[in-house]
Amino acid sequence: MQLYPAIDLRAGNCVRLHQGDYAQETVYGSDPAAMASHWIDQGATWLHVVDLDGARAGHPVQAAAVRAIVEAAGAVPVQVGGGLREVEHIRAMLDLGVRRVILGTRALRDPAWTEQVVRDHPGRVVLGLDARDGLVAVQGWLETDTVTVAEVLARMVDWPLAAIVFTDISRDGTLRGCNVEATAQVARGATMEVIASGGIGSLEDILAVARAGLPGCIVGRALYDGRVDLYQALEAVRKTTS
């Protein structure tokens, strides 16, 4: 199982939000490239980056910070989401050296456009599926659609997506544990890998994801608050899944 340290960008800083609320922000650093290097030094083999300003604005805002992260990461792949709603946004990110782009709002509201993007970039597109009470959330989590997670999965059954990142918004930033049951249910209905996200607060939470057979887990606030040591977590996951 892959562990993805999360680097959320807002106004050039590395931050975390509580349950997706932009008014409940904690700043953890002002140097995204240094943060990327820090997690790689602890053993990270992937980085998960979100442009929070972009998610609200509907277009990339933190491209300079993303570029700095990619350069600092070197051979370690980076996946980036937040505000990628036009083909040129996606191409710009891939041109920066980003390995995978994460699509959210536009992907869910315009399936025909998304299918074309995914088929043009097989294995390079991740669907960010954020849900609240089983319904899909969009626009940087500021709105909840009437579309269910199951309906989204049914549309995309044969698309060459790299993965789905599934986030239960009610858990995100709470440190109360990932909604493993809901994530595993999504995985059973999906034809691509499903990465767990939202609520990881301890090593045991990470191991619960690993024991569920899920291929990946995004860890944010627990790393920044010192509740999880990345190196120790990677070692524990290896022992659990070997």
Task: Read off the tokens for 201.
Answer: 């607060």
Task: Read off the tokens for 119.
Answer: 């088929």
**Angstrom distances, CA of residue 195 to CA of 25, 65, 240:** 24, 24, 17
CB burial class (10 A; 0-12, 13-18, 19+) of residue 167? buried
The residue annotated as part of the active site, out of 8, 53, 168, 172, is: 8
Q: At 66, which amino acid appears?
A: V
The residue annotated as part of the active site, out of 51, 53, 130, 168, is: 130
DSSP state of 189: H
Q: Tokens 């040591």 label which residue?
A: 229
130 is catalytic: yes
DSSP state of 158: T
168 is catalytic: no
Active site amino acids? 8, 130
